[in-house]
Chain A
Amino acid sequence: GENVEQHPSTLSVQEGDSAVIKCTYSDSASNYFPWYKQELGKRPQLIIDIRSNVGEKKDQRIAVTLNKTAKHFSLHITETQPEDSAVYFCAASTTGGSYIPTFGRGTSLIVHP
């Protein structure tokens, strides 16, 4: 089955800096890669996703890049703000089977004012 590795587990930055979270996946058939943000005590919510026919996608201060050859994808947050502090999860899912996503273990992002 699919295996998703996510790094780092904790990321501490100063307000205004950029943050990058990286994920690798094992199944070359995976073709959908969402990112979820979970604020403390709240439910995970989708913030951005990318499909395998696209190399990069941006939405204001966040962007996701995908390298299919290397089987890795990354979340980039620019001009970080304290409200970006949360746990971020990457996931990968494939059309070959049940479409069930496999999640990474999460990255705790702390943005210091």
Chain B
Amino acid sequence: DGGITQSPKYLFRKEGQNVTLSCEQNLNHDAMYWYRQDPGQGLRLIYYSQIVNDFQKGDIAEGYSVSREKKESFPLTVTSAQKNPTAFYLCASSVLSAGGSEQYFGPGTRLTVT
């Protein structure tokens, strides 16, 4: 069953704790992305990676970190430095194409920090 998965679906943490969100894909896509979704804000890019062991900051990278040790996996860590971490987080993947290509999204993780 091909696709992109995220776990867990819901995550609750206390303020001051780091938390890692999982993202795995078996689509053999080179590119992977993390977005944050807040009501009325659309999809804001946190980090992206186009090749293993390399990643780039997006528009709202502060307080987040990522790694890309395997092509299939792109975990996101929400650190205690992120001032407002409660949000819906979406992972996506795509082929790398000079003409642009469809992004395939995971089901998302809803993080609540209290």
Question: Which A residues fall within an 8 A CB radius of B?
Answer: 6, 9, 31-32, 34, 36, 42-46, 49, 51, 89, 93-95, 98-101, 103-106
Chain B interface residue count: which class? 20 to 34
Q: Are A105 and B96 in contact (CB under 8 A)?
A: no
User: Could you tell me the distance between the alpha carbons of A6 and B41 in the complex, rounded to whole angstroms?
Assistant: 11
Q: Which residue of B lies closest to A94 (CB)?
A: B100
Q: Are B42 and A105 in contact (CB under 8 A)?
A: yes
Chain B min CB distance to A105 (Å): 4
Could you say which of B14-22, B43-51, B62-70 contacts chain A? B43-51
Q: Are B90 and A89 in contact (CB under 8 A)?
A: no
Q: Are B102 and A51 in contact (CB under 8 A)?
A: no
Question: Which B residues fall within an 8 A CB radius of A?
Answer: 31, 33, 40-45, 48, 50, 56, 58, 90, 96-103, 105-108
Q: Which residues of B contact A99 (CB under 8 A)?
A: 31, 96-98, 100-101
Q: Which residues of A contact B43 (CB under 8 A)?
A: 44, 89, 103, 106
Q: State which of A9, A42, A100 has its C-beta within 8 Å of the C-beta of B107.
A: A42
User: Could you tell me the distance between the alpha carbons of A69 and B113 in the complex, rounded to whole angstroms?
Assistant: 46
Q: Which residues of B contact A94 (CB under 8 A)?
A: 100
Q: Which residues of B contact A31 (CB under 8 A)?
A: 99-100
Q: Which residues of B contact A36 (CB under 8 A)?
A: 103, 105
Can you list 17 A-B pairs, Cβ within 8 angstroms, ordered by A? A31-B100, A32-B101, A36-B103, A43-B106, A44-B43, A45-B105, A46-B103, A51-B100, A95-B98, A98-B50, A99-B96, A100-B33, A103-B44, A105-B40, A105-B42, A106-B42, A106-B43
